[in-house]
Structure 1
Amino acid sequence: MTLCPTRHAELDDAALLRYSRHILLDEIGVEGQQALADAHALVIGAGGLGSPALLYLASAGVGTITVVDDDAVDLTNLQRQIAHTEARIGVNKAQSAAESMRALNPHITIRPLHERVDAARLAALLGDADVVLDCCDNFATRHAVNRACVTARVPLVSGAAVRFDGQLTTFDLRDPAQPCYHCLFGEDGDASDGPCATFGVFAPLTGIIGAAQAAEALKLLIGLPVLAGRLQLLDARTLQWREMKYRKDPACPVCGEARPA
Structure 2
Amino acid sequence: MRFNPPTSWPDVPAGWMPPVGWMPNPSWPPAPAAWPFWLSDDGQPLPVTFAPDVPAWDPRAVVQSGSPSAAGTWPLAAPPVSDDALHARRRALVMFGIGVAAFLVGAVSAILAGRSSSGGWIWTGGMIVGAGLFVRSLVQYRATRTAGPAKPRSVALVALGLLVCVGTGVGALVSVVNPPQVPHEAGSCWTTLKGDSIQAVPCSGNHQYKVTQLVDDQAACPDASVFYVTLDSGKIGCLVDD
TM-score relative to the length of structure 1: 0.18
TM-score relative to the length of structure 2: 0.19
Higher share of residues assigned strand: 1
Higher-Rg member (1/2): 2
Relative CO higher for 1 or 2, CA cutoff 8 Å, sep ≥ 6?
A: 1
